[in-house]
DNA sequence: CGGTAACCTGGGAT
DNA sequence: AATCCCAGGTTAC
């Protein structure tokens, strides 16, 4: 049996002060506490403002830590903090139900609120969508009952692009490190519970970072992708940011074609950017998880095959055929249900009900 | 055009 | 201990 995890004391970091341990899920209060006696009420007690949303419209733990963004930090199980434009914002569930937000820095309240609602894609009713998906697919209905409130965000295209270039053939932990590095190039906007937050850097700022610096920061071969993409964007006549934003007005195929012209952006990454930032609601990012889902339920005849770029579009088509023009939103839930963390939960939920109806459990044997 | 081998890096399995 | 394999893929032969 393996040795237990070392005690919570900091690892014997060798020489110079290595960066602090990688961020995991929670930021427990190991940080130097502010001296209690010295803080009167003057310290900004955050003002929580209700959003009046049921958790069926927005459930934070199924929206933020699920791979759409690596910029938001989980402060407690039910509070997430991140930056939208210049605004440092926290979101939390009170009573584990309704959602409230607070603004930590001294920016315009009204602008923060409107940008937040936009970021949360609140113009779209998740419950309406899911009722359609459930009608089209009883299996979706079953999952939806357990995992409600998994919403697709509407992120800034540049932020989204850079994040997903980092994500390719990579794991969550390192993606987060890399995104943290890029973020730290932007303007500092404040800290919450010991975690520093930054605006996302501008294209100009990104252009100041060499491939070599990114390599040293641990980007591996993605360093040249970042560099190349930033340069490519800067060469766009009307400006790179404007060019990216203009993709929101194109159809999905054209948007994907434009995106994949950038180095480090293939079909999967392009679909992520399209869905998570460009209003392409039927974009379906096909990765290994989605491939498994698809070959199990949607196109079983392809089970066992290896996932090739060609098959990616086939899978995406199958999703659209089944779920319609918001197929990307359906995919999001199905994807989340595949995550190990959620699977464990679903499993335990299932077992309490299992005894009642054995049904047929044969099907997959395989190999 | 479709199929394959490198590609940075770190952790876990063999 | 040395390798292999894999992780929300893309690129170049």
What value does the mean pLDDT take over residues A246-257?
Answer: 97
Higher pLDDT, A58 or A358: A58
Residue A356 has pLDDT above 60, yes or no: no
Tell me, what's the pLDDT at A6?
Answer: 40
Tokens for A298, please give them: 């949607």
Q: Is the dihedral of CA A16, A21, A22, A23 positive or negative?
A: negative
Does the CB of A313 sit below 7 A from strand C? no
Alpha helices per DSSP H over chain A: 109-119, 126-136, 138-146, 157-167, 172-183, 203-207, 211-216, 222-234, 240-246, 252-259, 267-277, 288-293, 309-323, 327-338, 340-354
Active-site residue among A73, A92, A115, A268?
Answer: A268
pLDDT tens digits, A256-315: 999 999 999 999 999 999 999 999 999 999 987 888 889 888 998 888 787 877 788 889
Task: Find which nucleotide's C1' atom is closest to A262's CA.
Answer: C10
What value does the mean pLDDT take over residues A356-365?
Answer: 43
User: What b/e string do you get for A321-358 counting C-beta neighbours within 10 Å, with b at 16 or more?
Assistant: ebbbebbbbbbbbbbbbbbeebeeebeeeeeeeeeeee
Cα separation, A101 vs A46, in Å, equals 9
Tell me, what's the pLDDT at A5?
Answer: 41
- Which of the given ranges, A66-75, A94-103, A330-339, has the highest pLDDT on average? A66-75
What value does the mean pLDDT take over residues A352-365?
Answer: 47
pTM of the model: 0.86
Q: Which chain C positions have some atom within 7 A of a protein CB?
A: 7-11
Residue A196 has pLDDT above 50, yes or no: yes
> Which of A93, A80, A86, A88 is closest to A44 using CA atoms?
A88
Q: How many angstroms separate the CA of A157 from the C1' of B12? A: 35
What value does the mean pLDDT take over residues A161-182?
Answer: 97
pLDDT more than 70, % of chain A: 83
Give the protein-side footprint of strand B (Cβ within 7 Å): A 169-171, 173-174, 215, 218-222, 306, 308, 310
DSSP state of A36: G
Does the CB of A268 sit below 7 A from strand C? yes
Name the residues in A208-227 having a C-beta closer than 7 Å to nucleic acid strand C.
221, 225
- Active-site annotation holds for A292: no
Residue A242 has pLDDT above 90, yes or no: yes
Tell me, what's the pLDDT at A340?
Answer: 78
Task: Find which nucleotide's C1' atom is closest to A177's CA.
Answer: B9
Tokens for A85, please give them: 């434009």
Q: How many angstroms separate the CA of A21 from the C1' of C12? A: 36
Tell me, what's the pLDDT at A34?
Answer: 52
Task: Find which nucleotide's C1' atom is closest to A305's CA.
Answer: B3
Q: How many angstroms separate the CA of A106 from the C1' of B8? A: 40
Helices and strands of chain A, counted as H and E runs: 15, 7
Tokens for A337, please give them: 């249900």
- Which of the given ranges, A10-19, A223-232, A282-291, has the highest pLDDT on average? A223-232
- Number of C-beta neighbours around residue A294 at 10 A: 26
Residue A29 has pLDDT above 80, yes or no: no
Length of chain A: 367
Does the CB of A176 sit below 7 A from strand C? no
Higher pLDDT, A284 or A38: A284
Higher pLDDT, A108 or A8: A108
């Amino acid at each position: 049996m393996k040795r237990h995890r070392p005690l919570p004391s900091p690892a014997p970091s060798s020489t110079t002060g290595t960066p602090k341990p990688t961020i995991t899920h929670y930021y427990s209060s190991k940080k130097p506490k502010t001296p209690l006696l010295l803080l009167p009420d003057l310290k900004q007690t955050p003002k929580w403002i209700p959003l009046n949303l049921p958790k069926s419209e927005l459930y934070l733990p199924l929206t933020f830590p699920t791979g759409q963004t690596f910029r938001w930090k989980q402060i407690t199980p039910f509070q997430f903090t991140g930056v939208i434009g210049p605004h440092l914002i926290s979101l939390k569930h009170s009573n584990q139900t309704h959602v409230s937000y607070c603004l930590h820095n001294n920016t315009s309240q009204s602008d923060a609120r409107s940008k937040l609602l936009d970021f949360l894609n609140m113009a779209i009713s998740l419950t309406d969508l899911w009722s359609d998906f459930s009608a089209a697919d009883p299996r979706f209905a079953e999952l939806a009952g357990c995992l409600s409130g998994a919403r697709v965000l509407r992120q800034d295209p540049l932020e989204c692009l850079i994040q997903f270039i980092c994500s390719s053939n990579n794991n969550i932990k390192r993606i987060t490190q890399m995104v943290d590095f890029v973020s730290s190039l932007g303007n500092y906007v404040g800290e919450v519970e010991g975690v520093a937050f930054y605006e996302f850097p501008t294209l100009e700022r990104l252009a100041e970072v060499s491939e070599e610096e990114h390599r040293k920061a641990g980007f591996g071969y993605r360093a040249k992708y970042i560099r190349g993409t930033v340069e490519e964007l800067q060469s766009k006549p009307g400006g790179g940011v404007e060019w990216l934003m203009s993709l929101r007005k194109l159809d999905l195929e054209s948007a994907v074609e434009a995106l994949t012209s950038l180095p480090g952006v293939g079909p999967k990454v392009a679909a992520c950017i399209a869905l998570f930032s460009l209003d392409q609601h039927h974009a379906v990012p096909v990765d290994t998880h989605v491939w498994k889902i698809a070959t199990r339920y949607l196109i079983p005849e392809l089970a066992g095959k290896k996932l090739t770029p060609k098959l990616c579009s086939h899978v995406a088509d199958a999703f659209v055929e089944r779920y319609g023009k918001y197929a990307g939103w359906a995919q999001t839930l199905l994807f989340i249900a595949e995550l190990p963390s959620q699977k464990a939960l679903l499993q335990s939920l299932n077992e309490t009900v299992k005894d009642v109806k054995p049904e047929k459990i044969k099907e997959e044997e395989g190999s």
